[in-house]
Amino acid sequence: MIAEALKETVERSDPQHPDNRNDVTQGIHGHLHHFAPGGSSHHLWLNKFVPQLQSLAAKYHVGNYVAIRGTNERIFESMPIYARLGMHILFYGREQVKLLEGSKRIEALLMEQSKREGQIYDSPESRSHIPSFIHTYNIDTNELLYPPESPAYKNFNDFFYRKLKPEARPVQNPDHEFCSAADCRLVVYPAVHDAQTFWIKGDEFTVPALLGLDKSDPLCRALEGGSLASFRLAPSDYHRFHSLADATVIGEPRNIPGQYFTVNPQAVNEKHLDVLSANKRSVLLLNHDATNKKIAFVAVGALLVGSIQWTVSAGSKVRRGDELGFFAYGGSTVVAILEPGVVEWDSDLVANSSPPKRGQLGTETMMKVGWSIGRVPKDRK
């Protein structure tokens, strides 16, 4: 029933659906309160598919707390309907997780619906959704390189991976050698095993698995014990990703086929399912100019993500904040793994990511492209 609800939600995002009304909240961008008791009636159709959705929502999170940098504030971000349904498919129960791992039907469903959403948002008719999307997510149109009504946006996807004015994301703190690679929710860890303690709980997660390589590969050996950063992009975010450091692109990006599971924190925190190394992803290798060490930059697709596109190629020289590529529709994640000793993460980000009490989970920090995230350790300069 949940699977059928996901399919119906995707179809209702089509501008040609009779109930769409050029409103993105009629489909995948609706939120739980839209069909809660006493909420807006136009989402009550979901209850015919999942009458127990409210009890599921009470048992599992309907969103995530994120930290606002420079303050003690934490804000709650609710999940859109499609992410909520994707979470229920994953976590309705422990046995269902086991079934999912061996279920071609569910895997095929998620792939099919992700491709279908891409088709909908590549259609010329989808352009009519741009005003509603701007309103729903309070997007600052003053940052856009092209205004919303520009013919540069031939469809909704063109707006989704929109370009910003060059001055919209300046690189901050020139003495800090590393900056945020995306508008995102960020966690950072001095070593991969710290990430496995506080954030990435999948029992099959390893660096070789993420990179799609054998553990004996020289790159895997070089990155062993290295540092990790995870940049999670929500659907409302600017969806181009950028270099976190001054570097040179080594070789062409390497695409790894995979699944279309949601990458919400509850999925990444799940012990019995490693979504990061199960999902479709693409790996770009960078050589860090200051240390001559390697950085693996992994763009991870997710539920309803249509594609991963790179705008650099082998031999490209990139500076901090330079664009590397973009995601077509959907929330998604970038994971960067750096050789040991290359970076010392900013202390406030480490504190949010690694709570003092063992057993607690980290908290993501809200970030923008260009904001400082770390520097080269003094003994490496």
Instruction: List the catalytic residues.
Output: 183, 242, 332
Calpha distance 61→63 (Å, rounded): 5
Calpha distance 15→353 (Å, rounded): 40
Q: Provide the terminal-to-terminal Cα distance of the chain, rounded to the nearest Å.
A: 57
Calpha distance 341→191 (Å, rounded): 10
- Is residue 81 within 8 A of residue 30, CB to CB? The reply is yes
Calpha distance 151→60 (Å, rounded): 42
Q: Which long-range contacts (CB under 8 A, 24 or more apart) does 201-206 make?
A: 201/268, 201/269, 201/270, 201/271, 202/268, 202/270, 202/271, 202/272, 202/273, 202/274, 202/275, 202/276, 202/277, 203/271, 203/272, 203/274, 204/274, 204/277, 205/274, 205/276, 205/277, 206/277
Residue carrying the six token digits 């891409």: 118
Calpha distance 118→381 (Å, rounded): 45
Residue carrying the six token digits 């996807």: 157
Residue carrying the six token digits 């092209």: 146
Calpha distance 265→285 (Å, rounded): 25
Q: For residue 338, report the phi and psi dihedrals to the nearest 5 degrees.
A: -115, 145
H helix count then E strand count, the chain: 13, 16
Between vectors from CA 268 to CA 209 and to CA 371, what angle results, nearest 5°?
Answer: 95
Calpha distance 313→251 (Å, rounded): 7
